[in-house]
Structure 1
Amino acid sequence: MIEFDTRPDRDAEVALVGRSNVGKSTLMRELTGHSFDTGGKPGVTREPNHYDWAPEDFVITDLPGFGFMSGVDEDLREEIKTEIVHYLEAYADNVLVAVLVVDGKSVIDIIDRHSGPDEIPYDVEMFHFLRELDIPTVVAVNKMDKVDNEDERLNELCDRLGLYPPWKQWQEVIAPISAKKGQLEPLHEAVREHLHEQNRDDLFKFF
């Protein structure tokens, strides 16, 4: 059984969501300075990781990865995805910003491979689901240090997400980063913009 009801009693939240193996746990470590299990194989994080600061009514949550995980059967994958959806629905009013983490190197190939008349790619589906919940959403495009033509890749991603390119007009939504190298400035700026809109400048110190 996956344990999903471990959330600390905190009102405000920033939630990290995304496929397995896109670097969410590495990003979580960079944001919090606190180490969580990370692994080379997908699906290491099966339950939410929460990190809260004692004096603040605030928590950062790293939700488990969804989609393909080697060595994880389809029933469990679907259960994890369902739990993520339920969690986001339950706490939609508390989540100040959702950060949808994607792998900049492979995201276009993955989206295109799973696009068809009867199939919506998980990343695209999750992006629209978060927006339907009225959760301000930033797409953290990770591993950009491995991408040759950054502008082209980010324009393609905007196109797949239904955002009109060029990507630079969406800098509060699209944030190219490299979590492993600690290059997070576009993400910090995008998250702060959404926090500011919700009168939560007090949380800037975390970003």
Structure 2
Amino acid sequence: MFEGRPDRDDEIVLVGRSNVGKSTIMRELTGHSVPTGQKPGVTREPNHFDWSGQSFMFTDLPGFGFMSGVEGEHREAIQTDIVHYIENNAESILAAVLVVDGKSVIDIIDRHSDRGEIPHDVEMYHFLEELGVPTVVAVNKMDKVDDKDERLNDLCDRLGLFPPWQQWDEEVIAPITAKAGRIDSLRTALQGHIRDAKRDELLQFVTA
């Protein structure tokens, strides 16, 4: 079980598979470096970034799914801890950012579906939805995607959202390239959720 959560009333959490760029997004949002690496699974515990003047923080949760050099049993334990963290703090989560790799997400989802398994990304999206946590799907690494509209429409389809993706682009679907600092669509979506929560004083933290 994750321990040591800072005493903050509200947070925005980043969740997703290993190596999809959550820590890079965290760096773009906070302006501070957090541990990143080429190997999946660098983040094994939540990384919290908070401000002393506001009862608010960003939380980068560990990646789920395959991690090089990490045994299956430990991977499952991390995923269970992620689920418990979100459940236990759902009322404090202003928004969850589900980060996916725009280049590979459809293949990964379909591979698991073809095996008769529920894909982790889809399962996490619906889990957050059931908890009533406002969720933005940050589709990262879009600079590597040629058929952008087709790929994003396919993602909507896999998540149970009606295409075209553009009807969700200021609320649910945010195509980004975090490594190049292009996360404006994510910032816009988070601004909307902060306004919905009547916490306008926190807009400064999601404005470039």
| Range into which the TM-score falls when normalised by the shorter chain | over 0.9
Which of 7, 13, 21 is matched with 2:19 structurally? 21
Find the counterpart in structure 2 of residue 202 from structure 1.
Answer: 201
Unaligned 5+ residue runs, structure 2?
A: none
What are the within-5 Å matches in structure 2 for residues 119-158 of structure 1?
A: 119-158=117-156
| Paired residue type of 1:173 | V
Structure 1 outlier segments of 4+, above 3 Å: none
1:118 positional shift: 3.6
In structure 2, the partner of 1:5 is 3
Secondary structure (helix, strand or coil) at the match of 2:143 reads: helix
Which letter maps to 1:114?
H
Identity %: 68
CA distance in 1, matches of 2:64, 2:106: 17
| Residues 25 and 36, structure 1, Cα contact 8 Å, conserved in 2 | yes
Which residue of structure 2 aligns with residue 106 of structure 1? Answer: 104
Q: Aligned partners of 1:76, 1:110: CA distance in 2, in Å?
A: 21
Over the residues paired in the alignment, what is the CA RMSD in angstroms? Answer: 0.9
Return the alpha-carbon distance in structure 1 between the equivalents of residues 194 and 176 of structure 2: 19
Structure 1 spans left out of the alignment, 5+ residues: none
Distance in structure 2 (CA, Å) of the matches to 1:29 and 1:23: 10
Residue of structure 2 in register with 1:164 after alignment: 162
Mapped to 1, the partners of 2:136 and 2:22 lie a distance apart of 13
When normalised by structure 1's length, the TM-score is: 0.97
Cα separation, 2, equivalents of 1:176 and 1:202: 26
CA distance in 2, matches of 1:86, 1:133: 12
In structure 2, the residue corresponding to 1:92 is in which secondary structure?
helix
1:28-84 CA distance string (max 9 Å, x none): 011111111101010000000000011001010000000000110000000000000
Match of 1:189 in 2: 188
Q: Is the helix fraction higher in 1 or 2?
A: 2
User: Which of 57, 60, 70 is the equivalent residue of 2:58?
Assistant: 60
TM-score (norm 2): 0.97
